[in-house]
Structure formats: C-alpha cells, structure tokens
Chain A
Amino acid sequence: MKKPELLAPAGDYERAKWAFRYGADAVYLAGPSFGLRANAPNLTMSEIKKIVAEAHAMDKKVYITVNIVLHNEEAGKLHDYLKELDILQVDAIIVSDLYALQLAKKHTNLKVFVSTQASVMNYTAALFWQKLGADRIILARELAKDDIALIKEKTNIELETFIHGAMCTAISGRCVLSNYLTNRDANRGGCSQVCRWQFGLYQGDEKISDNFAFAVKDLIMVDYIKELMTLEIDSVKIEGRMRSIYYLAVVIAIYRRIIDGYYEDDNYQITKEDYLRLQRVANRLTQAQFFASKDQVAYHYYDMMENSNQDFLGVVLGKKDGLIYVEQRNRFRVKDQVSIFGPDRKEQVYTIQKMYDEDGNAITVAPHPQQKVYLDINAIVPVHSILQKLI
C-alpha cells in the first residue's frame, strides 16, 4: 500500500497556507497567466516565490497550472513565463498543451504534469505522454477502478486522480458551451458552468420538458481511498481553486486523517462525523461516480437543490487572557455548543460560556459576518482553528 500525496487547491496565497496548515502535502495554484481559473484571485509571481519557499521549508510542494488551451498569441509568451517559474523553483507545472510540455522540457528543469483537461483515459495515450517526457498524468475523471489499475500496470509514469469536488459533465476539454452561451472561453479560464443550467427540451417542434438538466453531483471518494492506496496511485487531488478556507480545512483535514489512518492501520474506520462533514461542506450532493458504479442515472443532480447550511461559524485568530479571539462567519450565541477543529486536532465540542466584543463588553450573540469577538470556552485552542456547528 502506497501513501499518496494529498494535493489541494489554492485560489490565492492565503488559501495555499490554509491548505498546508490542514495537511496538504502539495498545493496547485495558478500564477498570473495561463491558468484555467481566471475568476480566482490567483497568485502574483512574488506570492508564488513566497509560498514555494514556505512549502519547501516544510518539505511540501507547489504545482502551477499552465493549462489553458493556447492560441498562437499566448504560445509566444509562454517561454519567458516558464523560465520565471523555473527560477522560482516550483515543483511542477500542470499543462494540457503539447507545446507547453515540450517547451518546459527543452528549456527548463520543471517537472511537467499532464492536466485532466487532456482527458487521458487509456494506457496508450498515457504512454505517448510518457514518451514526450511528462512526469505525471492527472487522469480523466471518467475512469473506473479497473481502468486506473490497467493504466498503472502498463505505464511507468506517476498517476494522479481526483478524489473530491466538482465534476465536469463533459469530457474535459470537449466543452465550449460557455463560449457560445456566455461569451466566456471555457478552455481559456472562463467556464461559466453552463452544464448546471436548466434548459427547455424539444423533440422536433414539441416541447417535452421545461427543466431538462444534466448537471452532475460532486465527486466523493471517501470510501475508495484504501483502494487507491492499494493501486499505488501517486497523488490524490481535491478540486476547487474557488473554494473557501472552510471547505479546504474540512476536506483536507478529513482526507489527511483517512490516508494516514489506512497507512497505519488496514482496518481504519472512517467516522460518521467525517462522512457527514464531507457531504455537507459544499452544499451539493456527492457520489463516487465512474470509479465505483456504472449507474449513470445516479450521477446526475436533477433536483438542482443546493442545500445551503451555516455550518461554518468562525475562525480562531488568537487568544488573550484565557479567551479565544474569533472572527465570525455565521451567527452564534452564548450557550451554543460548537465543534472546533484545528490543523492538528480532531473535532471537539465546547460550550460558549461567555462572549465579549472587542471593547470588552459582554454580549450574548455574534450576528455580523466578520465580527470579531472573544469567547470563553473553558479552553484555549490554536490559532487557525475553525468553529463549526454540531451536526
């Protein structure tokens, strides 16, 4: 059984730090150019420099997405950008374009990973990328367990697979609905998630549905981590460079616990709380989909209901005189029981005994987003711990 790298998304510098804090072995993020999440803040080159240095000091890694589909005008600018990333000593770049791979291999020391955007679904295509010099393939999200096993068996290249987060309904790279319906180029960072819309459906000239949909549930691989470890997958990846710090902390911490748990004990048991948290954290239904089942109907998200919850209550910013200093995210009040978890600790339940505003006045409720309060919970928890509702 191999202990895979736990790879997490980072939409900006702060989120990269949160990802590491909560147990990611590596983060992937976009720099100022060529990444596929144009609406995420992304990182400047100086932020990349900083996060790479911090990551390496912790023996962790930073990968940069360079995975847009290049047009001639961008391709001409790519050389200098890759050289800069090489100087910053990023650990790898993620590409979907053959030219980006070739350029990096010819002119830099960068490792190159093949993006899931390239939709590698078979071992022969994987062998071709391997021949071109790729160091890792991020597999297509439509693969069953047996497919992954065979690709592993037939190739000699690192394999990475997604374990949690949003899925494309289309084959990655083969959808430009966004271009045609919202004028945002999906393959150049502008995907507007048209696949989550509802449509009218016609058969000939007859309307047969007002709410035709084909969105799919989010991916969740919590039940199959042990199998992926047995398959000796090199890296398991969480999707979501646009996600919040709460999402990152919850998802990373739980998968960290599960990977470490199985590595140490073959009979590790995933807790009910961890299942529940993973299912609630994105407010969307989840399913393992292609890896475990051929029942395509069950993959879909037909009800379109995203059950919003207010689980995320606040972040611990510090401590003072036996109190914890908290920034609010959702309303809580004195006498509430809250669950607190931190970078190195599982959830523990505390009761808010007393609460004070920043001027030291006793208050009973924290109703305002980003309101800063002091809490007496009869304990001190580390900075960057997270308060959440009990479930």
Chain B
Amino acid sequence: MKLLLQPTSYEQMVANQAAVTGFIAGIDDLSVNVSFMCSDEELKKLMTQFADKEFFICLNKNYQNHDLPVLEKLLSKLKVTGILFYDLAIVHLNNQLNLQHNLIWHAEHFTTSFYPFAVLNDYQVKGMVLSLDMHYQEMIKISEEVNGITMLPVFGYYPIFNSIRHLASNYFTYFKQPKDISNLSLAVNDVRLPIIEEKNNTTILTSFLVDGSAIIKKLNKIDYGIVNGYQVDSKFLSVVFEKLKKQESLKGMADNLSDEIFYQQTTYRIKGDRK
C-alpha cells in the first residue's frame, strides 16, 4: 500500500517527504476540511519542488451554483495526479470539457459499496476512497472488485459531520460571546470531538485518531493509504509512517488511537420484520 499524506503545513510535507508517495492538498474555496489549502499557483510551485511526488487535490465541497465558474476554470488548467471529488458536478465537467482528469470518488459516507463506483467508472471515474463506515471485510471485498484505484484513510481524524452552516460563530453571535473559533471540541459521553469551522462550512471529527496500522496487512489490495496529519505531533507522525510501512501496530504509542472503526459493522435495521 502506497502512502499519501494529507498535510497540515509545508513543514509537515518536507519532514515526511521520504516516507510518502504523494500529498493531498485542498484548493481555497473549493475544498472543505483539508488542513493544507493552497491556490493553484502555489500548487504549481509545490509540484515543482516535490517533483518526484504524486499530487492529489481534494475537491470535496458540495458546490453551489456560484462555485461552478471557479471550479470549471480550475479543472481546465489543473494538472495533477488525481482529483478526489465529492460533488458529481466534477464528473459532469470532466466529461463535458473532455478533461481526462484521474477522478477518484471521495464521497465520504457514500462509498460503502462497489456498485455505484461501477456506474461512475463508465463516466471516466478511475477510483474511489473507501468509506470507514463499514467493517474491514467489506473494504477487502470492495478492493477486490473495483477495477481502478482504491484509497483508504488509514491514520488520523476522520470527518463524521459536515454542514454549510457556521455552527460555532452562530452560537457565539447568538449568546454574544467572543468569536474565537480556534481549537474547539465538543464534549459528549466522556469523549471530545474536534469541531472545525471554516469559511464555508463546519466539520466535526472523530474523537480518536483512526489507526489502521494493525490491520493494514489485511488490506493490502488497497492501492493507497491516506494519513491525515491534522493535530498529529510531528515526531509521532514520522513514527506513524515508519510503522505503517513496516505494517506494524501503533497500539499503545499514543492515548487516543483506535482501530475499532475497522471492526464495526453497521446493519440496516427496520422496525419489526414486516415482510
């Protein structure tokens, strides 16, 4: 499994470049919950500097009409290894404008099955980022069936809620409190969930750092593992890469690691059995 870093800073990219195949960055105003955002010009410079690395752009916003001209312009000139996308507008533009981008379906909680990917595959979508909302055995099955690139978040905080509302600012405004939206977390059931408000949205993350180190061996058919560097200590991040590469467990090396997410099986339940 090749490893990609979704960095939080340029320094994190430099520090971990030897360990990764490539990077994932966001684009100003067109991405959400991507710690490292840049303009297309900045991206070009980074691609020159890290010329031997793959560069993926995460365009994971739900676009509104006013975003479309900016999006179209960007897609027309962007030259990257691939684009991780959420909104199907990107597929349509890629086809309509004959752009030939390597599109990777990254619809967070929707990518729980091989079948919809097969539909998108007919429209030039080349791969998918598997959702973590399923048991690892389902992930294995999908990775065996997908005729294309597969990716999986293997380390770091994982988004479990996204809204286009400004949830923290709205609250502070209503209660006339100072509007400092930095470093916030929700407390519930003895856990703390990071809540991040950005210009266009609010995201809530898992209370734990997803840790796929112990299970990575079993998921070896997946092409790329994604490491999210958000709020990960720089020294520890290098340990993370070392362990992931050796397919060794990180268990016990930090307080808030959890691999439970890979063993959770959600079921479709209905009230009673009324067939």
Q: B184 contacts A170, CB within 8 Å?
A: no
The answer to whether B271 has its CB under 8 Å from any CB of chain A is: yes
Q: Mark B241-275, 1 if CB is under 8 A from A, else 0.
A: 00000000000000000000000101111111011
Q: Bound complex: CA of A377 vs CA of B169, how far in Å?
A: 54
Q: Are B116 and A99 in contact (CB under 8 A)?
A: yes
For the complex, what is the distance from the CA of A175 to the CA of B164, rounded to whole Å? Answer: 12
User: Which of A36-44, A252-260, A316-324, A351-359 lies on the face that meets chain B?
Assistant: A36-44
Known: A189-B268, A202-B192. A45 touches B275 (CB 8 A): yes
CB <8 Å contact, B87 and A122: yes
Within 8 A of A (CB), among B187-201: 187-189, 192
| A87 CB within 8 Å of chain B | no
Report the Cα distance A209→B187, complex, angstroms. Answer: 10
The answer for the CA separation of A58 and B268 in the assembled complex, in Å, is 34
User: Does chain A have a CB within 8 A of B92?
Assistant: yes
Known: A45-B275, A131-B92, A203-B183. A122 touches B65 (CB 8 A): yes
CB–CB A180/B206 < 8 A: yes
With most chain B CB atoms within 10 A of its CB, the pick from A32, A98, A121 is A98
Which of chain A's residues have a CB closer than 8 A to the CB of B62? Answer: 119, 121, 140, 171, 174
Residues in B with CB closer than 8 Å to A123 are: 65, 68
Contact of A307 with B by CB under 8 A: no
A83 interface residue, CB < 8 Å from B? no
Q: Which one of A99, A122, A213 contacts B119 once the chains associate, using CB atoms below 8 Å?
A: A99
* Interface 1/0 per residue, B62-79 and A, CB below 8 Å: 111101100000000000
Q: Which of B134, B162, B266 is within 8 Å of A171, CB to CB?
A: B162
Per-position binary interface string of chain A over residues 183-198, scored 1 when its CB falls under 8 Å from any chain B CB and 0 otherwise = 1010111100001010
Do A202 and B187 have beta carbons less than 8 Å apart?
yes
Contact stretch, chosen from B11-19, B170-178, B214-222:
B170-178
> In the complex, which residues of chain A have a beta carbon less than 8 angstroms from the beta carbon of B266?
179, 183, 185, 188, 190
Task: For the complex, give the distance between the alpha carbons of A190 and B133 in Å.
Answer: 13
Q: Does A158 contact B (CB under 8 A)?
A: no
Q: Is the CB of B187 within 8 A of A173?
A: no
- Kindly state the separation between the CA atoms of A88 and B162 in the bound complex, as whole angstroms: 38
- Nearest-neighbour CB distance to chain A for B163, whole angstroms, equals 5
Known A-B contacts A125-B92, A174-B108; A70 and B116 likewise in contact (beta carbons under 8 Å): yes
The answer to whether A292 has its CB under 8 Å from any CB of chain B is no
Inter-chain pairs besides A124-B92, A150-B65, A296-B165, 6 sampled, C-beta below 8 Å: A70-B113, A72-B145, A187-B133, A201-B186, A202-B186, A214-B170
Q: A119-B62, A125-B88, A302-B174 are in contact. Are A69 and B112 (CB under 8 A)?
A: yes
Residue of A nearest to B207 (CB): A180
Residues of A contacting B120 in the complex (Cβ-Cβ under 8 angstroms): 98
Asked if B270 and A197 sit within 8 Å, CB to CB, the answer is no
A97 an interface residue at 8 Å Cβ cutoff? Answer: yes
Instruction: Say whether A268 faces chain B, with CB atoms less than 8 Å apart.
Output: no
Residues of B within 8 A of A (CB): 62-65, 67-68, 87-89, 91-93, 107-110, 112-116, 118-120, 123, 133-134, 138, 141-142, 145, 159-167, 170-171, 173-175, 177, 180, 182-189, 192, 202, 204, 206-207, 264, 266-272, 274-275
A96 to B107, CA, bound (A): 12
Measured between alpha carbons, how far is A176 from B158 in the docked complex, in Å? 11
A129 to B67, CA, bound (A): 18
Interface, chain A (partner B; CB < 8 A) = 32-35, 38-45, 68-75, 96-99, 101-102, 119, 121-125, 127-129, 131-132, 140, 142-143, 146-147, 150-151, 169-171, 173-177, 179-181, 183, 185, 187-190, 195, 197, 199-204, 207-209, 212-214, 216, 296-297, 299-300, 302
| Distance of A167 from chain B, by nearest CB (Å) | 10
* B115 and A99 contacting across the interface, CB-CB below 8 Å: yes
Question: What are 21 A-B residue pairs whose CB atoms fall within 8 Å in the complex?
Answer: A32-B274, A69-B113, A71-B113, A71-B134, A72-B113, A121-B62, A122-B65, A124-B93, A128-B89, A132-B119, A174-B62, A174-B109, A177-B204, A202-B187, A204-B183, A296-B165, A297-B170, A297-B173, A302-B171, A302-B174, A302-B175
Q: Tell me if B88 and A38 are in contact (CB < 8 A).
A: no
In the complex, what residue of chain B is closest to A142 when comparing beta carbons? B164
Partner of B138, one of A72, A119, A170, A188: A72
In the complex, the answer to whether B174 meets A175 with C-beta atoms within 8 Å is no
Closest A residue to B112 by beta carbon equals A71
Return chain A residues, CB-CB under 8 Å to B271.
38-42
> How far is B162's CA from A176's CA once the two chains are assembled, in angstroms?
9
Taking the closest CB of chain B, its distance from the CB of A251, in whole angstroms, is: 23
Q: Which residues of chain B are near A176, meaning CB under 8 Å?
A: 109, 133, 160-161
Cα-based distance from A207 to B183 in the complex (angstroms): 12
Q: How far is the CB of A289 from chain B (nearest CB, A)?
A: 10
B116 touches A97 (CB 8 A): yes
Please give, as numbers and ranges, the residues of chain A lying within 8 Å of B141 by CB-CB distance.
72
A224 to chain B, nearest CB (A): 19
**Inter-subunit contact A300/B109 (CB<8 Å):** no
CA distance A304 to B196 in the complex (A): 23
Given contacts A42-B271, A72-B115, A302-B174, contact A201 B160 (CB under 8 A): no
Measured in the bound complex, the distance between the Cα atoms of B204 and A44 in whole Å is 37
Docked-complex contact A173 and B183, CB < 8 angstroms: no
Nearest 5 Cβ contacts at the A-B interface: A200-B187, A99-B115, A185-B266, A124-B89, A128-B92
Would A99 and B109 count as touching, CB distance under 8 A? no
Cβ of A147 and Cβ of B113 under 8 Å apart? no
> Which of B142, B165, B184, B267 has a CB less than 8 Å from the CB of A72?
B142
Contact A171 B187 (CB under 8 A): no
